Structure 1
């Protein structure tokens, strides 16, 4: 007879985020090798780029903090340059904050082995993602370290793309500082996303007919939700991901609504980073062309392509495209200030249908 969660002291959740972070840190590859002097210069350059990115982002987006405070490099975000294990640990903490209380071991219990597998699966996913992420603004992170820049991934990407390092680092930081500005303009947004995510996960846990299904279903959904909240195809849909196999139609709809918000956030940040002039990022057009090609290609190996589909990363790429198309269409219709109406409150966020049909959002919000 398997040992179940009910036989052990209560208070636990299905995924042990400390274990997941530890596993991710051990599995994550270290990344490219470089002399110590080059790595120190990289760290300093990324911190400097994060600071310099704030002014052009403010100018392009014409956004401001909801509380009226003056936004500068020091007040918008706290920059932390990390390696891959450091990113994985920070992301596990963020996932814990985002899902806290939503993944309790049910009273009837689950096999202990299944709990361990769930934590290991999430940890392995974080290890994989730690090799892909360039930067991330974490609304659940500490104020002095809520903008993460993953140094080895930036170095590896700029080497592979053969772009000018100073330009590429500033361009990446503009994307992440746009996310920081989004949360400053809409401080309610982080809690809105957390509440939606927690509701979805609670519903998923409660709907499992067999207690043994809970960890696997939650692990799959936690990975998919995380991929969506960190960043579907309109028309032809990407190949099924893990999330498609574990969600009911109503849960799928809720997940798509979260995805619509993230499409907005990612697309808005992509538009901002591309709107910067050549006086700020001289090689911006070349960087975008090469970066878009890299995104569309994904990995060249069969295993990498399979993993991207299983984890929903192909849908994530579609999210950038759809969100950017939405922002550009709305900007053309009602201008930059009209776009900024999305930060007014939850009721002005676009639905999944409106992301695909920007005119319907403009009609609903602007009349």
Structure 2
């Protein structure tokens, strides 16, 4: 870790955009230890077995057809930063296009520093990630496991590493299942994102589109929780309890970052979506809940998330 080099990269930010993405990558990596990526043959086989088993179980339990992503990688933190520079850049493009500043050089430096700090923080905390490559002219997908973080958190939680690794694999493959079952979903999310920020330069956002985006992401997070609950091949109540305590703990910087990055909102999405899909599955079965991905019209409305019977009556009359 070289904090001087990290700060220097931000200070030297240049170009015509509101963010210098090359400087973001250089700064984030300079501020972050990459972590060890020395996999034993048994460990490498373990990741492959976990992902394959998750695919087979989720297909069976969810009655959904999907393929594994094209890219499945075990990464260190620098690899994760490299992979997500492109993702963050795509997500920010509509915002950058709508944003103007009276002092572009100063704004570029501030924005570059903010994004570098964000990526550095996330790279030290992300365990696994399914990347559907939103906002990209590509059908590729990525499934990433950040080995140094999985090892560290398993140790902090006093959970056997192979068991924790397998739980992460099931969770991320569950996201692959829903995006694989709903090829329309990336375009749907992209359109709502563009619409939500289309007026940001005038100081407004499209609240209706933002609400639709939030509802869709609640469905994404909640359905993955449902599949995890029904498909994981052992009880993980203790894991959930320990992870929830970890998310709510941490020092003041961690709590501030969770708030700034909307991680508290993501947790609420998990909980609200999980309650919705659990109620649907208990009433009609997991396959009935999977109908949510058949077409965009089958997504629950905001009201239906809190009253699942309304959704059941509409989609499964």
Aligned to 1:294: 246
Aligned to 1:284: 236
Aligned to 2:182: 186
Matching of residues 1-367 of structure 1 within 5 Å: 12-31=16-35, 36=38, 42-65=43-66, 71=67, 75-104=68-97, 110-140=103-133, 146-205=142-201, 207-208=202-203, 248=204, 251-276=206-231, 280-281=233-234, 284-295=236-247, 297-299=248-250, 301-367=251-317
What secondary structure sits across from 1:103 in the alignment? Answer: helix
**Is the contact between residue 76 and residue 181 of structure 1 (CA under 8 Å) also seen in structure 2?**
no
Gaps of 5+ in 2: 1-13
Q: How far does residue 198 in structure 1 lie from its aligned partner after superposition?
A: 2.0
TM-score w.r.t. structure 1 length? 0.73
CA distance in 2, matches of 1:61, 1:14: 43
TM-score w.r.t. structure 2 length? 0.83
What secondary structure sits across from 2:109 in the alignment? Answer: helix
Gaps of 5+ in 1: 1-7, 66-70, 209-247
Aligned to 1:235: none
1:234-268 superposed Cα distances (whole Å, 9 cap, x missing partner): xxxxxxxxxxxxxx4x5344323212211211121
What secondary structure sits across from 2:198 in the alignment? Answer: helix
CA distance in 1, matches of 2:17, 2:312: 42
> How many matched pairs?
301
CA RMSD of aligned residues (A): 2.8
Range with greater deviation from structure 2 (177-186 or 135-144): 135-144
1:129-155 superposed Cα distances (whole Å, 9 cap, x missing partner): 112211111111877761011111111
CA distance in 1, matches of 2:155, 2:182: 36
What secondary structure sits across from 1:15 in the alignment? Answer: coil
CA distance in 1, matches of 2:139, 2:29: 23
CA distance in 2, matches of 1:102, 1:305: 26
1:125–1:314 CA distance, 2 compared to 1 (3 A): same
CA distance in 1, matches of 2:133, 2:265: 24
